[in-house]
Amino acid sequence: MDKDTKLCISIALKPGITGTALHNAGYKALNLNYIYKAFSVRDLEGALQGVKALGIKGCSVSMPFKEEVLNYLDSVDEAARRIGSVNTIVNRDGELKGYNTDITGAKAMLKHLKVNSDASVLLLGAGGVSRAMLCALEQEGFSNLAVTNRDKTRLEKLNNTFIFNSISWNERNDYKADLLINATSVGMYPDEKSLPIRYQSERNFSAVADVVVSTQETRLINLFKEEKKLYAPGFIMSLDQALEQFKLYTGKDGPREVFEKRLKALIKRN
């Protein structure tokens, strides 16, 4: 570190170690004069004033601030504004602009699956990740979309922004589509044996994408893998959204192999 070292940070109520590990590994690999540090924050507005005052280059945003942070930014990327959630802030000469790199991660999952845009999709969940998924699907030309969620109110709110066929949570096990996307927390550590659909309902789908990343292959992913069907684990989304953040902060492509190796090690340790 020296007087020219650029600082990037992450803010959350309870910060994890993933961002710190990946970004710092990337800086080291490319010999960039950057450092990344996670902070536990309770005063969101004060933290963002600090980002401006200290000339902090970039700021990642985690729970529970991804929606509230829109109130304190100078500008917001159109896609991030549409989904109402920001996970990445870039400081350009004191002007803070918000982005959502989960959209990039979602597109990476779709690309991995090589599913045509005319495929039918069932999306489970109506939270922030679901919004990013719907935005990615929309941008990639998918239109045959169905969404279900336990909370009908959240589902109705989501339907005010995106066009899709809303189905009840109880219908999900009998619904048939080309692609199933799990954007819920079902299957996440420590409930790794849980499934978001009934066992054997995977037969209703040709491919699956699961955003859960606490393990490289969830039980849902394993079901499709055993049936020799296409699958995209949450690892892909996590990796590509981090690489997009890195590029926004530094202007350079992140070292994918370094990020991938580090992320796999972190998941395995969990």
Burial class (CB in 10 A: 0-12, 13-18, 19+), 201: middle
Q: What is the rounded distance in angstroms from the CA atom of residue 12 to the CA atom of residue 16?
A: 8
> Max alpha carbon distance in the chain (Å)?
61
> What is the edge-to-edge ordering of all strands in the sheet holding 95-99?
34-40, 6-12, 58-61, 88-92, 95-99, 75-76
CA distances 224 to 59, 122, 199, 207, Å, are: 37, 15, 11, 7
Catalytic residue among 66, 114, 193, 229: 66
**Per the omega criterion (within 30 degrees of 0), is the bond before 190 cis?**
yes
> Cα(118)–Cα(154) distance, rounded to whole angstroms?
26
Give the whole-angstrom CA distance, residue 192 versus residue 197: 14
Closest CA to 85 of 104, 72, 98: 98
Of 228, 261, 263, 223, the residue nearest 242 (C-alpha): 263
205-210 vs 58-61, strand pairing mode: unpaired
114 annotated active-site: no
Cα separation, 37 vs 11, whole angstroms: 9
Which residues belong to the active site? 66
